[in-house]
Chains A and B, each alone.
Chain A
Amino acid sequence: MKKSLGILIAFLLVVLTACGNDSTSSKNNSEEKKNDGPEVNLYTARHYDVDDQLYKEFEEKTGIKVNVIKGEADELLERIKREGDATEADLFLTSDAGRLFRAKDAGVLQAVSSETLDEQIPEKFQDTDQMWYGLTKRARVIVYNKETVKEEDLSTYEALAEPEWKGKVLVRSSENVYNQSLLASLIEINGEDEAKKWAANLVKNFARDPEGGDKDQAKAIAAGIGDVAIMNTYYLGQMLNSEEQEEVKVAEGLGIFFPNQDTTGTHVNVSGAGVVKYAKNKDNAIKLLEFLSSEKAQGTFAEANYEYPVNAAVEPTELLASWGDFKEQDIPLSSLGEHNAASILMFNEVGWK
């Protein structure tokens, strides 16, 4: 018995010493952060590997160390809220304008102005009060089965709710912020009543109950469950470049259609970042924003996820260029946030799971 307890303690000791050198460093994580050099603390909901490389480049270029906490947008925002004026966060980066609006609405961002940012990021992709700046752009489009659907059959988001599409429409659950923002944009453009009718009629056209992510909608077209799906452009990009040949095959069988070209334009959204209200390193946060929207970084930052760069000086990748130019919705991005709650309630009311 004594011996076995000894073994147990020995095991724990081994584990602890194995981590020992690290435990000091993680205890020193906050100390390590308190290195005397300049630094910037980033809370980000984007977690592509390429981001880390860009932060390293920024560090090499400016000597400013980038400390990162990666998480889910909503939870990170909640954490910043709770930390109040004591927060360590300098910059908050997330996808979806709806979420950026939530952050602004919660009063955790501050307005910053910089000539460089204005040069690099079109006004359209900036918050009206300069509280956040868009960094990448994506469109929520219709993809369709090239074999069963002709491109001329497609026209608008609104038309997908017509009876002729009964049992053919695929889309993920309403829990997802991309759908919330899409509905919010239709509320902004067509008004609440029309938007609600659209959502209710679209539900009647669902090929199946919403399930899975955006890629799963594309696969369901290949499987013959439905004919058209609503999804974000970059997921198609990911599939076309997948390590899994079958995914590539599925994506190649799909047509991509930018809806509402003759009417109100295709729904676009951004990922972006805002400087935290109580940032301790405001200047460094602005520098990081300027770096991420610079011509040099934009290519990598957007390309990593097959997104469109917001910096107009940067050419989109070959794949995106092949999809062609398109007309975008002409509404302030903040409206996506303003109608976010309304869209959630609306989804519940019309039974969009």
Chain B
Amino acid sequence: MQRRLANVNTWTITATIIMILLVLPNLTILTGFVTEPNDNWRHMKEYVLNSYVTTSILLIILTSIFTIFIGVSLAWMIAQYDFPFRNFFKWALILPLSIPPFIGAYTYHGIVNYTGIIQTTLRDQFGLQLNPSYFDIMNIPGAVFIYTLFLYPYVYTITRVFLSQQAASLVESARVLGKNSFQIFWSVVLPVSRASIIGGASLVVLEVLNDYGVVKYFGIQTFTTGIFQTWFGLGDLDTSIKLAAYLMGFVVLVLFIEKLLRGKRQYSYSTTKIRPLPVVKLKGMKAIFASLYGWTIFGFAFAIPLVQLIDWTILTFGSIPQSVFFLAVKNSVLVATISATMVITFALVLGNFSRMVKGKLVTLFPKLSIIGYSIPGAVIAVGVVTTFIFIDQQLVPVYRFVGFSTTLVLSVSLMMLIAAYVIRFFAIGFNSIESGFEKIGTDFRDASRLLGANYTKTFLKIDLPMLKGAIISGFLLVFIDILKEIPLTLILRPFNFDTLSTKAFQYASDEKIMEASQASLLIIGISALAIIIFHKFLEKE
């Protein structure tokens, strides 16, 4: 009894410390919630708030529908059937995640605009000058198109891992009962994989709400553009925080809907052996159609933008200094690896903690940290700066003792950037780990505990091995996200510290998309490498 208490306490203390660390910097932002509405707020309400709300809702709903449709259909197709190129598609369909949406937006606009390859070819080769509005993607449908292409892998990855590992026995039973594949999909696959689908889709929604690059360039007014406008343009932090509050209300709603949609039912491992689903070999037209579908998505979401980026890189190669790239690659990989490792470690501790403690309130605990994913990156960054400067000021005596001359040590170091990444992307890692824990259920743990192993030992010996898939996919998602990240990196980096995403962004924001292509290609290359390595690793299991 004594020992168990001590055990729970270690976990409790660790989990609480992590929670505080994750939420603290955001609190500096939340203090503004209680301010009186001022003239700017009234102005916003009168003139623009409605359009922020409707545009944001429209973007979320449309993007969710499309990403779920594409993500789930691909996941199911690859989990259930065998067809030409299936093994390639398995990992290749994750690749679009490596293209930052704002780069995707610039690239696609570059392809379809007046001087882009499509219109130019039509004009010069065929003498066709079509109505330019056919090619206009700088609007809400265009933004949905961009988000869908580069964010569907969230849904695809999470759902596919689940289906190929979990659905075997259920689907087999259904097959034995003589259901056709459509019936199986509707009555078995969708219900059991609901949690993964909704989990993936909610990541997409948060990504969309948070995006600034695409909407800013396209001239679409959303919450995020409004927050920036009031904060920096009007210099009115209070009002911009009020907008952020609305946005957070949104996110809480999304998460609530997610919980609701996930429902009460839990499906956990029914046996200790995770059996992959036996695949059905497709023949003839069906096989061709399946391949075609895969190639279409892969083409639009990856191959086409990639070819365009390569083309631009070749065009501009001579005009860009090359020396900086080597260092930028190292910096990017370094911060992404450290931060992703930290995120996953924290997520494991918190995930395990909320399983140990049976209590509604505590399980909501980690959910709070998702706030970090819902607030625009720039807002978080300022919270982090404020927090770190505060810590630095408390530590001045220590610095003096050690012999530093400055008062800012932590806040000009890489620590601050890494802390911000962890706060920002914790939700992604946690989502993955949490669905992993949900799949395991608690039977094995309870058995292990009955046999006398303590919580920590059980965690290391029983849970961790079973969580491997979740750990790897969580790490991968966070790693790639950090490689692409813009606002935090721009604001919080130390002196003389360039990453690939900051290089890409600085060119793109000067309307020099061609020059941005090389850095973008490197981001894509590293992400692709990571995806391939981890995929091979997962396949080995």
Contact = CB atoms under 8 A, between A and B. Distances in A.
Interface of A: 1, 4-5, 7-8, 11-12, 15-16, 18-19, 22-23, 26-27, 29-30, 32-34, 41, 47-49, 52, 67-72, 74-79, 82-84, 86-88, 102, 105-106, 172-173, 175, 177, 180, 208-216, 219-220, 222-225, 235, 238, 242-244, 246-247, 249-250, 305, 340-341, 344-345, 348-349, 351, 353
Contact of B490 (A32, A72, A175): A72
B219 A211 contact: yes
Contact of B219 (A32, A210, A222, A235): A210
Interface residues of B, number: 86
A172 B219 contact: yes
A191 B460 CA distance: 71
10 closest Cβ contacts across the A-B interface?
A74-B232, A246-B115, A47-B506, A211-B138, A19-B334, A211-B219, A223-B132, A67-B495, A173-B219, A223-B114
Contacts of A250: 114-115
Contacts of B231: 74, 78
Contacts of A305: 510
A76 B491 contact: yes
B330 A18 contact: yes
Which of A7, A70, A82, A209 has the most B CB atoms < 10 Å from its CB? Answer: A82
A243 B507 CA distance: 14
6 contacts: A49-B321, A74-B228, A75-B378, A78-B232, A244-B315, A344-B233
A68 B498 CA distance: 10
A215 to B, nearest CB: 5
Nearest to B404: A34
B252 interface: no
Interface string B477-508: 00000000001001101111110001000110
B102 to A, nearest CB: 13
B321 A52 contact: yes
B159 to A, nearest CB: 23
A353 B221 contact: yes
B385 interface: yes
Interface stretch (B87-95, B190-198, B297-305, B405-413): B405-413
A29 B414 contact: yes
B43 interface: yes
Given A4-B541, A244-B115, A244-B315, A19 B514 contact: no
A175 B219 contact: yes
Interface in B118-135: 119-120, 129, 132-133
A11 B472 CA distance: 12
B490 A75 contact: yes
Nearest to B503: A47
A161 B120 CA distance: 32
Contacts of B491: 71-72, 75-76, 78-79
A67 B498 CA distance: 12
Contacts, number: 215
Contacts of B365: none
A209 B133 CA distance: 12
B495 A68 contact: yes
Contacts of B109: 212, 216
A255 to B, nearest CB: 18
A105 to B, nearest CB: 8
B48 interface: yes
Nearest to B109: A212
A30 B412 contact: yes
A348 to B, nearest CB: 4
Interface in B194-243: 216-219, 221, 225, 228-229, 231-235
Interface string B322-337: 0010010011011001
B448 interface: no
A321 to B, nearest CB: 23
B512 interface: yes
B392 A1 contact: no
Interface string B367-392: 00000000000100110011001001
Q: Which of B119, B133, B136 has most chain A Cβ within 10 Å? A: B136
Contacts of A215: 511
A15 B389 contact: no
Contacts of B119: 223
A6 B530 CA distance: 17
Given A30-B409, A30-B412, A82-B385, A19 B337 contact: yes
A88 B412 contact: yes
B319 interface: yes
B221 A70 contact: no
A22 B495 CA distance: 14
Nearest to B414: A26
B20 interface: no
Interface centre among B113, B219, B321 (most CB of A within 10 A): B219
B444 interface: no
A349 B333 contact: no
A273 B300 CA distance: 43
B341 interface: yes
B540 interface: yes
A75 B377 CA distance: 11
A4 B468 contact: yes
Contact of A26 (B139, B320, B389, B497): B497
Nearest to A3: B540
B465 interface: yes
B179 to A, nearest CB: 35
B50 to A, nearest CB: 12
Contacts of A74: 228, 231-232
A246 B509 CA distance: 21
Select the residue from B333, B409, B506, B507 with max chain A CB neighbours within 10 A. B506
Contacts of A41: 495
Nearest to B318: A243
Contacts of A249: 115
A305 B509 CA distance: 13
Contact of A83 (B228, B341, B385, B413): B385
B85 interface: no
Given A8-B472, A102-B232, 11 more contacts: A8-B537, A12-B337, A49-B320, A75-B491, A82-B385, A83-B411, A175-B229, A209-B139, A209-B219, A222-B115, A235-B511
B405 A34 contact: yes
B316 interface: yes
A243 B316 CA distance: 7
Nearest to B137: A211
A323 B315 CA distance: 28
A16 B330 CA distance: 10
Contacts of A224: 129, 132
A305 B327 CA distance: 25
A22 B330 contact: yes
B165 interface: no
B186 interface: no
B364 interface: no
Contacts of B139: 209, 211
A79 B405 contact: no
Given A212-B217, A238-B511, A353-B221, A22 B334 contact: yes
* Best-surrounded residue of A68, A78, A353 (most CB of chain B within 10 A): A78
Contacts of B219: 172-173, 175, 209-212, 353
A239 to B, nearest CB: 9
Contact of A12 (B116, B221, B341, B465): B341
Contacts of A106: 235
Contact of A213 (B217, B315, B316, B468): B217
Contacts of B533: 11
A16 B116 CA distance: 41
A87 to B, nearest CB: 8
B16 interface: no
Nearest to A221: B114
B319 A75 contact: no
Interface in B521-541: 533, 537, 540-541
